[in-house]
Amino acid sequence: MSNSYGTLFKISTFGESHGPAIGVIIDGCPAGLLIDETYIQSELDRRKPGQSKITTQRKEDDTFKILSGVFEGKSTGTPIAIVIENQDQRSKDYSHIAETFRPSHADYTYETKYGIRDYRGGGRSSARETAARVAAGAIAKLLLKEYSIDIHAYVSEVGEIKTPHYTTLDLSKTEDNIVRCPDSAIAEKMIELIDAVRLDRDTIGGTVTCVVKNTPVGLGEPVFDKLHAELGKAMLSINAVKGFEYGSGFEGTKLRGSQHNDEFYNEGGKIKTKTNFSGGIQGGISNGEDIYFNVAFKPVATIMQDQPSVDKHGNETTVSGKGRHDPCVVPRAVPIVEAMAALVLADFLLRAKTSKL
């Protein structure tokens, strides 16, 4: 059950980094949706490795094949199965970790939990699994477009370099640079930093901010499945994520209620709020304002340096960084964050259809 996400718009992913293929089944996509395969591919291309000098040089085309659920270009209401074959696997890059646990990776916990582990490329714990999420998320985005909902993520922080509040940025410029930061001057600094870190054979963390515009009022469910609780879970389920905050977030805890409260007012017949410290969500339900949240990514665990560790027999040993890895994960994480946000919103859109008589 751990490999499925969603209630009504539900995805189930499968696949290991170095197995024959990864993929996803989407169960619950409403019938009649135009499935634009070019769009799905363009989303996969935003995530794929080898895009630029600041991402891993590993090459995967990440071309997908739809096996079911689409007829004459439209969804039929039956499960949409998507398969992405694995290519350019250098499994032998991983033979050194068959018996050794890489620091800050899932090797030790998988080995202990299951008693067996496909160590090649991290197996199931590899971020390669997120390609399946991006494919499914692209279909969720197509559904959201029918409701004019727009999701926009970008890199807001790399190391200590950060952007100002999203409301001051031109989000349409995110894809203009390889780090996916809408402020070109800050982007330049981020790229320099990542490049320097890479040359140090090291890695660095960062933050992705996501903004959802034009959400209708009423998405999200009390009590446990609050909109932000599901967004939080969805984001925290992405590899390397260490934190989630929405609206005023951690900083907001320092404010007083009189400063933080989000007054309602009437703007031409439409109910709006003033500060949007609420982040577009009140009582777990969207209120029609912009939804915005931050997602913290730790520095990539694989570094091109020798590190002390232990093997499965408890012997102390050294792990050497091998393989081709990202010096900073956030540029490629942007489409993953968007995909997961789309999946959450698509699910709540369907759930909201049943809330009233």
Q: Which stretch binds a second copy (CB under 8 A): 41-49, 103-111, 164-172, 183-191?
A: 103-111
Closest separation between CB of residue 277 and a second copy, Å?
8
Residue 126 assigned ligand-binding role:
yes
**Looking at beta carbons only, is 335 or 348 nearer to a second copy?**
348
Q: What does the buried/exposed string (b/e) look like for 179-214 if buried means 16 or more CB atoms within 10 Å of the residue's CB?
A: bbbbbeebbebbbebbeebbeeebbbbbbbbbbbee
15 binds a second copy (CB under 8 A): yes
Smallest gap, in angstroms, from Cβ of residue 43 to a second copy? 19
Q: Would you say 139 and 41 are in contact if contact means Cβ atoms under 8 Å apart? A: no
With CB under 8 A as the contact rule, the residue among 42, 88, 167, 217 that binds a second copy is 217
Q: Which of 207, 209, 292, 341 binds a second copy (CB under 8 A)?
A: 207
Contact set for a second copy, span 246-265 (CB under 8 A): 246-250, 252-265
- Does residue 350 bind a second copy (CB under 8 A)? yes
d(CA 286, CA 273): 12
Residue 297 in contact with a second copy, rule: CB under 8 A? yes
**Is 324 annotated as a binding-site member?**
yes
DSSP symbol at 24: E
199 belongs to the binding site for a second copy (CB under 8 A): no
Local structure of residue 29 (DSSP, 8 states): P
For residues 200 and 303, give the distance between their C-alpha atoms in angstroms, rounded to a whole number. Answer: 9
> Before 223, cis peptide (omega within 30)?
yes
* Alpha-carbon span 80 to 64, nearest angstrom: 12
The interface with a second copy within residues 124-163 (CB under 8 A) comprises: 124-125, 129, 143, 146, 157, 159-160
Give min distance, CB of 172 to a second copy, in A: 25
The one among 53, 59, 90, 242 contacting a second copy by CB under 8 A: 242
Would you count residue 99 as binding a second copy (CB under 8 A)? no
CA distance 347 to 357: 19
CB-based contacts of 11: which residues, under 8 Å, 6+ apart? 4, 5, 24, 25, 26, 27, 132, 133, 136, 343
For residue 317, the minimal CB distance to a second copy (Å) is 9
